[in-house]
Amino acid sequence: MSDKNSLQQLVERLVSQVLESHIPYMRDDLVRRAVTELEPMLRGGGTPAAPATPDTLLQATSSIHHASAQKEVLSALLDASSNFCGRAALFVVRGGSALGWQGRGFPSNDAIKNFALDLGSGLAARALQEKSPVEGSAADLDRRFVSSFGESRDQRAMVLPLIMKEKVAALLHVDAGAGAKLDRTALELLVHSTGLWLELLSLRRGAPGGAAQETSEPAPEPAGRVAAEPVASAAMPKPVEVALAAAAAVGSSVAVTAPRATPAPSQPAGALDEEEVHRKARRFAKLLVDEIKLYNKGKVEEGRRNRDLYDRLKDDIDKSRGAYEKRYGSSVAGSANYFVQELVRNLADNDQSLLGSRFPG
């Protein structure tokens, strides 16, 4: 079985390949290609009780990638996870707390709502801090959780962080429940795939001509309950990012929206819009160059030594440049050409000569 990092890099590469060519039609293609390449890893990768197969993983991942609203995506994640574990509970992370959103496989799934998971210590604290799945004794999760919902038969638990834009937006608790079903690799893939899909939805809505932002209001909360709201951080202050955070209000049937920021009197609204386009263009350029580095480490090292990065990475650079120009070339950020800036800064260590004499600039 390949390790987690190899699995993560493989799925990220497949997502990027499809994203650049046809975002609106990417879902089925993405799932098929991911499962095809993952099939060798999945042989024997599940527990004897419920081994993961390409067919079951295809169905589970496809259900997530056919959802287009945050709540639908997260519900699909929980439904898909239940194929590979006995119990699953999703907790929204916000403001230093993790509040229950929905559960699967519990005697009363509604009891998960608004349960405050202990983030001071234990498995949840480690998953949040390390931004990676952790597994251990159920007693290390949260004593109140065990007291309220009981332990799995094997007294084990696993917590997986759902990461969006390098932030932990939610925590997924899974265990075997009363059975022996806990496929760790399949669950890690589902959670990672969900985070990527939510980011892709954000990119698609943020692009010119993208889908309109959802504007329906959430259903009111039952009296006495506090809604688990989407994550909002300094890195995600704008309405689109907030609306596409990894959770919606508890009990809502549609995605949460945020009010549009009010421009400061000294700065016109148009200037704020342009600033946002520049910010997104810089981020997109960084993602493209990071991808080139991630999957061409050997060529990058050789190109730096021989000062011919562009010759060695021409196909990847030209393809990524085309994706950048298609998205931002005709925008207000076009003249800044952040993609070239990022190539020099990130790929060539701030030394443009490392790209070689044939780099077109």
Q: Exposed/middle/buried for 305, CB within 10 Å: 0-12, 13-18, 19+? A: exposed
Instruction: Assess whether 163 and 304 both reside in one domain.
Output: no
- Backbone dihedral region for residue 265 (phi beyond 0: left; psi -120 to 50: alpha; all else: beta): alpha
Contact yes or no for 255/78 (Cβ under 8 A): no
Q: How far is CA 153 from the centre of its chain?
A: 31
Which residue did the predictor score with more confidence, 252 or 199?
Answer: 199
Total domains in the chain come to 2
73 located within any domain: yes
Instruction: Assess whether 308 and 168 both reside in one domain.
Output: no
**pLDDT at residue number 181:** 85
Instruction: Assess whether 93 and 176 both reside in one domain.
Output: yes
Instruction: Assess whether 12 and 159 both reside in one domain.
Output: yes
Instruction: Assess whether 16 and 162 both reside in one domain.
Output: yes
Considering 168, 183, 206, which residue would you say is the last residue of a domain?
Answer: 206
Contact yes or no for 258/242 (Cβ under 8 A): yes
What is the number of other CB atoms lying within 10 angstroms of the CB of residue 27? 19
**pLDDT at residue number 91:** 96
218 located within any domain: no
Q: Which residue has the tokens 């290609």?
A: 33
86 located within any domain: yes
Q: Is the pLDDT of residue 106 over 60?
A: yes
Task: State what percent of residues in the chain have pLDDT above 70.
Answer: 66
Residue 249 amino acid letter? A
Q: Is the pLDDT of residue 264 over 60?
A: no
Q: CB neighbours of 159 closer than 8 A, spacing ≥ 6? A: 123, 124, 126, 127, 133, 134, 135, 141, 171, 172, 173, 174
Instruction: Assess whether 190 and 279 both reside in one domain.
Output: no
Query: To which H or E segment does residue 167 belong?
Result: strand 167-175
Instruction: Report d(CA 10, CA 1) in Å as an integer.
Output: 13
**pLDDT at residue number 55:** 72
Instruction: Assess whether 41 and 164 both reside in one domain.
Output: yes
**pLDDT at residue number 138:** 86
92 located within any domain: yes
pLDDT band at 69 (very low <50, low <70, confident <90, very high): confident
User: Of the candidates 213, 180, 220, 173, which has an alpha carbon nearest to the alpha carbon of residue 78?
Assistant: 173
> What is the rounded average pLDDT of the residues 112-137?
92
Instruction: Report d(CA 262, CA 22) in Å as an integer.
Output: 34
263 located within any domain: no
Instruction: Assess whether 299 and 151 both reside in one domain.
Output: no
- Three-state SS sequence of 79-112: HHHCCCECEEEEEEEECCEEEEEEEECCCCHHHH
- The 10s digit of each residue's pLDDT in 177-214 is 988 888 888 899 899 889 888 887 777 665 544 443 33
Residue 353 amino acid letter? S
Instruction: Report d(CA 268, CA 195) in Å as an integer.
Output: 34
* Summary mean pLDDT of the chain: 74
Instruction: Assess whether 10 and 151 both reside in one domain.
Output: yes
Q: Which residues span the domain enclosing 302?
A: 269-355
**pLDDT at residue number 44:** 43
Considering 182, 206, 230, which residue would you say is the last residue of a domain?
Answer: 206
pLDDT band at 46 (very low <50, low <70, confident <90, very high): very low
Find residue 174's DSSP bridge partners.
88, 158
Q: What is the DSSP letter of 355?
A: G
Start-to-end CA distance of the chain, whole Å, equals 42
Q: Exposed/middle/buried for 215, CB within 10 Å: 0-12, 13-18, 19+? A: exposed
Instruction: Assess whether 57 and 150 both reside in one domain.
Output: yes
Instruction: Assess whether 163 and 17 both reside in one domain.
Output: yes
- The 10s digit of each residue's pLDDT in 143-161 is 899 889 998 889 999 999 9
Segments in the chain forming alpha helices (H): 4-22, 26-42, 54-65, 70-81, 122-130, 143-149, 184-206, 239-243, 269-295, 297-306, 309-328, 338-342
Q: Which two tokens stand for residue 288?
A: 């493209």
Considering 161, 186, 206, which residue would you say is the last residue of a domain?
Answer: 206
212 located within any domain: no
CATH of the domain at 127: 3.30.450.40
Instruction: Assess whether 158 and 281 both reside in one domain.
Output: no
- The 10s digit of each residue's pLDDT in 293-318 is 877 888 999 999 999 999 999 999 99
313 located within any domain: yes
45 located within any domain: yes
